Structure 1
Amino acid sequence: MSSKHQQSKSHKLIIFIFFLFIFLCVMRQRLSASNLQSQWHDDPQPPLEKIPPSLADALVHYATANRTPQQTLQEISLTKTVLQNRSPCNFLVFGLGFDSLLWKSLNHNGRTVFLEEDGDWIERVKGMGLSLEIYHVEYDTQVEEAVELLEDGKRDEECKKVTDPRFSNCILAHKKLPKVVYDTEWDLIMVDAPKSWSKELPGRMTVIYTVGLMAKNRSPGAKTDIFVHDADRWVDNKFSRAFLCEGYMKGQVGMLRHFTILSHRTSSNLPFCP
């Protein structure tokens, strides 16, 4: 057996045990709640609930799939920790991958939406019967434009105004995302798409700017956690630091960078970046 194959099996086993641990924790919490309710009201203990469908799907999927999530266990654990504090919540994910069912399961009882540019891949995933909420998106940029877009975005005062991206005059504002993206207040956002590893691909320039703008334009007092994967790449590194703002960066694990952005509608005196 090759070393690569052994690592793949080990990774699958870790993911399966990870989900099994989550399931046991959920059931333990429900048992405790049921016992307390019985003690307080002197009623018979109610029957235990069934395993959540999303978690059941995830256990089966990762136990039988030949592919594992693209992120490392350490990177996944960072997002999991934030989700534990914020779920159930609204979670927007740019990218549809082998970790999609993982995100939906970790956000049990919340809303998890996936945006993907590859229509054929969307149909393949839908054919797996995983019950994911997926929307097709298109991008009209290329990585080779990134340097110019970065300079324009930093120089243009319109790019420093906090507003709905659909009404922004900044060249980086993405105006063609599905309506649900603009109309929903997202508590967590994961930027792991579109493709960005070569100059002819769309890159994440407009996505990174737009999610930051949406976070700043949320209801007063709201807080948004944004994760950018592949933060070691030039585009993801430069654009996240410039438009999600280094002052909002909480840290980085592996190639996953974490930002926490407060609503700018709370105070009109807040600069675009602290």
Structure 2
Amino acid sequence: MPPEVPHFRSIVTPLVRFSSPVSPEAQECQPHRHKQSRGSKAMNFSRTKLFPFLVLILSIVSVLRLVRIAVTTPPPPPTLGKTCSFSSTCTKFRAETNASANTSGLMKKEYQLLLNLISQKAPCNLLIFGLEPQYMSLSSINAGGITVFLEDDQKKISTLKPNSNTTRVYKVDYQIPAKEAYRLLKHAREHPDCAPSSKLLQRSKCQLALKNLPQEVYQLKWDVVVVDGPSGNAPEEPGRMSAIYSASMIARNANITHVVVHDVDRMIEKWFSWEFLCDENLVSSKGRLWNFRITSQSNSTNFCPAKAIRIE
């Protein structure tokens, strides 16, 4: 029989190591370390959740700012790439004209602007589309000059009498209702007959031209032209499209003419003033009154040179 092998212990280092005994003080510190580790994890987790929350808040603030800008920014003149009807976006005109009808006449600051202008120019040639009691006092200030009123309401003409021999009131008829404003604006942009180089207003083929005014309106060089008529208080009533266009043509026949437009808070007055009198010519304004300074441009084929290059 083979000899018995005596049992012996391996000299290989054991795979499992036993930790040394821990002192009570060390045992008390170990839970504290675990607490710190948990706190740092919680902090990282809260930061991770806080970041998208901040992004959401900033996004909401940005959207609110854009909405405020969109609400407070005035509408631009209409572009003609698509149709516009008073049954859709242009129905805003009804509300605007009704509001202006309730506040007809000049406010104190508006009248003061016009009073200062006439006082500086007097004696001068003053042409006024419209006839209001306040305007009669302007003819007194313009003593020695010529003041001409163009009015379509016979009742106003019969109740207000000229106070001097140099003040004249003429009855005129405006045939185009206010609801045709958009169509006429498109017509003026597309037809060369409406360009400012066409000096003979009374023979113009432009649909906006007033060709049946008294002869002295075409013959005189006017220092100040005021557009506050016709009333334009409803889409079916005569609008001021032709008055503003004709005033711009008359103004370009003189060296320097101030064209003052009232009720520019309304859509038609604003659009047509931008188109034919040009915002770069606007020199002063008060309330609903805009004052444009127009200089003679005999060789110009555009009302507003700054808008000559335009994408339709």
Q: Mark yes or no: TM-score above 0.5.
A: yes
Q: Structure 2 matches for 1:240-251, cutoff 5 A?
A: 240-251=273-284
Amino acid at match of 2:131: L
> Aligned equivalents of 2:211 and 2:122: distance in 1?
28
Matched residue type, 1:170: C
Aligned partners of 1:229 and 1:85: how far apart in 2? Answer: 20
1:84-233 to structure 2, matched below 5 A, reads 84-126=119-161, 130-131=163-164, 132-162=167-197, 163-218=199-254, 222-233=255-266
CA drift at 1:95? 0.9
User: Separation in 2 of the partners of 1:269 and 1:186?
Assistant: 20
Q: Is the 8 A contact 2:130 2:149 kept in 1?
A: yes
Q: 1:75, 1:254 within 8 Å by CA — same for their partners in 2? A: yes
Describe the superposition over 1:206-231 as per-residue Cα deviations: whole angstroms up to 9, x where unpaired: 1100110111123xxx1000100001
1:272 and 2:307 equivalent? no
Q: Write the distance in 2 (CA, Å) between the matches of 1:91 and 1:77.
A: 16
Letter in 2 for 1:180: E
Give 1:205's aligned amino acid. M
Larger radius of gyration: 2
Change in Cα spacing, 1:269 to 1:235, as seen in structure 2 (3 Å) is closer
The TM-score with structure 2 as length reference comes to: 0.61
Count of equivalent residues: 199
Q: Give 1:78's aligned amino acid.
A: L
SS at match of 1:99: helix
**1:139-164 Cα deviation digits (max 9, x unpaired):** 11001111111111122222114212
What residue number does 2:9 align with? none
Per-residue CA deviation, residues 153-196 of structure 1 (Å, 9 max, x unaligned), is 12222211421211222221110111121111110011010011
CA distance in 2 between partners of 1:181 and 1:217 (Å):
11
Which residue of 1 is the match for residue 73 of structure 2?
none
Q: Is the 8 A contact 1:164 1:217 kept in 2?
A: no
1:54-73 aligned within 5 A:
70-73=105-108
Q: Deviations over 1:44-103 (max 9, x none)?
A: xxxxxxxxxxxxxxxxxxxxxxxxx92112111111222222110000011111112211
Counterpart pick for 2:112 among 60, 77, 86: 77
TM-score, normalised to structure 1, is: 0.69
Distance 1:112 1:80 in 2: 14
- Report the AA paired with residue 98 of structure 1: P
SS at match of 2:147: strand
Report the identity percentage. 36
Structure 1 residue 109, shift from structure 2 partner:
1.7
Q: Which one-letter code corresponds to 1:232 in the other structure?
A: D
Task: Show structure 1 runs of 4+ deviating over 6 A.
Answer: none
Gaps of 5+ in 2: 1-103, 306-312
Q: Residue 113 of structure 1 aligns to a residue in which SS?
A: strand
**Could you tell me which residue of structure 1 aligns to residue 288 of structure 2?**
255
RMSD value, Cα? 1.7
Structure 2 letter corresponding to 1:208: I
- Does the 8 Å CA contact 1:249/1:258 hold for their aligned counterparts? yes
Unaligned runs of 5+ in 1: 1-68
**C-alpha distance in 2, partners of 1:101/1:139?**
22
